[in-house]
Structure 1
Amino acid sequence: MNTIHSSIRHCGSSASFLSLIARDVLLPFSTRILLKQIAPLLLTLGLSQTATAASRCDSIITRDLERCAKENFESSDRKLNVAYRTLGPRLSPQQREMLLASQREWIIYKDKSCRSVYNGTAPGEEAGIEKWTCLDELTKTRLRELQYVDFRY
């Protein structure tokens, strides 16, 4: 169990939710061993699917790059919403409340972080690209966190 806590300690506002979920799930020793063996494979497969699903932004025109980055974020956001809706029914009422609270905190964190990235590059033309890329990367990270929790159920 210490491995789980140390691996999720750095996850920001969602760490408390994830650690409480991990504490609530007491797996038999043989199941934990199996998870340790197959989890990296499943995580790699999930990450590769997420990475390949994003559109390559290879234009040299700023407006095109910004549009592409926005589309990538919107795609990631749709996937996050599906993961959130899929995970919710599998949790107890108390865990759903914790998920909802952590999701609200994460949204505040995401918006403030990416607003800071935008403000740091504004009024440069690339400010919009940086903002959408920030939103996309944080959303993908949150998606992986929810997939991790969902995998445990």
Structure 2
Amino acid sequence: MNFPNRTHFHPRTTIFFSLILIAGGSLADECTTYACTENSRLTSKLRNADRQLNIEYKDLIQKLNRTQKVILVQEQRKWINFRDTQCEKFADESCHECDFSTSSQIQKQANDELWCIAQLTKTRTQEIQSMKKALANGTKPDFSFIPT
């Protein structure tokens, strides 16, 4: 069982991008701001991190027996839930005084969430790589996801 090769964005992030498309002129014109430029950079960074995670995950899962695959899939789902919850919390805390009356405040929160997702995705990629190394060395990989 493989996860689809796509990046999951939190609903608030998706709403932000929808607002830009719907608003057309007003919010889209503000997209020349630093926050919007940063958003493009972070989106690209997240896509690259997600692509690398998917490559490593697919490579690992092909090397596992049926029981190990089931365990890894369960643990990956736990990680996805953890990632989404932590990054939503991080974005909320980083913008705790925002009243969201401007698109730049919405962009900042979306950017904080994108940054967090990219960072946790990179960390998870390293964990998957460690599992692959353990398997290659003939030791039993630890598939358990333990949030830190």
Matched, 1:126 2:108: yes
Please tell me the residue identity of whatever aligns with 1:130.
Answer: D
What residue number does 1:142 align with?
124
With normalisation by structure 1, the TM-score equals 0.58
> Partners of 1:70 and 1:132 in 2: how far apart?
7
1 CA distance for matches of 2:69 and 2:35? 41
Measured after TM superposition, the shift of residue 140 of structure 1 is: 0.2
Q: Does 1:67 align with 2:40?
A: yes
Mapping 1:22-33, distance limit 5 Å: none
CA distance in structure 2 between the partners assigned to 1:128 and 1:66 by the alignment? 8
Q: Structure 2 counterpart of 1:141, which letter? A: T
- Counterparts of 1:119 and 1:130 in 2: how far apart (Å)? 9
Matched residue SS, 1:116: helix
1:103 corresponds to which residue?
Answer: 76
SS at match of 2:56: helix
Q: 1 CA distance for matches of 2:38 and 2:45?
A: 10
Give the counterpart of 1:78 among 45, 51, 67: 51
Identity %: 24
Aligned alpha-carbon RMSD (Å): 1.7
TM-score computed with the length of structure 2 as normaliser: 0.60
CA distance in 2, matches of 1:74, 1:147: 18
Q: Which has the higher contact order (CA 8 A, sep 6+)?
A: 2
Q: Secondary structure at the match of 2:58?
A: helix
In structure 1, distance between residues paired with 2:114 and 2:40: 9
Tell me which moved more, 64-73 or 136-145.
Answer: 64-73
One-letter amino acid matched to 1:83: E
Cα distance, 1:68 vs structure 2: 0.5
Q: Distance in 1 between matches of 2:124 and 2:47?
A: 14
Once the two structures are TM-superposed, the CA of residue 106 in structure 1 deviates from its matched residue by: 0.3
1:50-61 alignment runs, 5 A limit: 61=34
Q: Choose between structure 1 and 2: higher helix proportion.
A: 1
Give 5+ residue unaligned stretches, structure 1: 1-59
Q: What are the superposed Cα offsets for residues 75-104 of structure 1, whole Å, 9 maximum, x if unpaired? A: 100110111100001112111111000000
Unaligned stretches of 5+ residues in structure 2: 1-32, 137-148
Q: What does 1:28-47 align with in structure 2 at a 5 Å threshold?
A: none
Query: Once the 2 structures are TM-superposed, how far is the Cα of residue 118 of structure 1 from its aligned partner?
Result: 1.9
Partner Cα distance (2:111, 2:128) in 1: 26
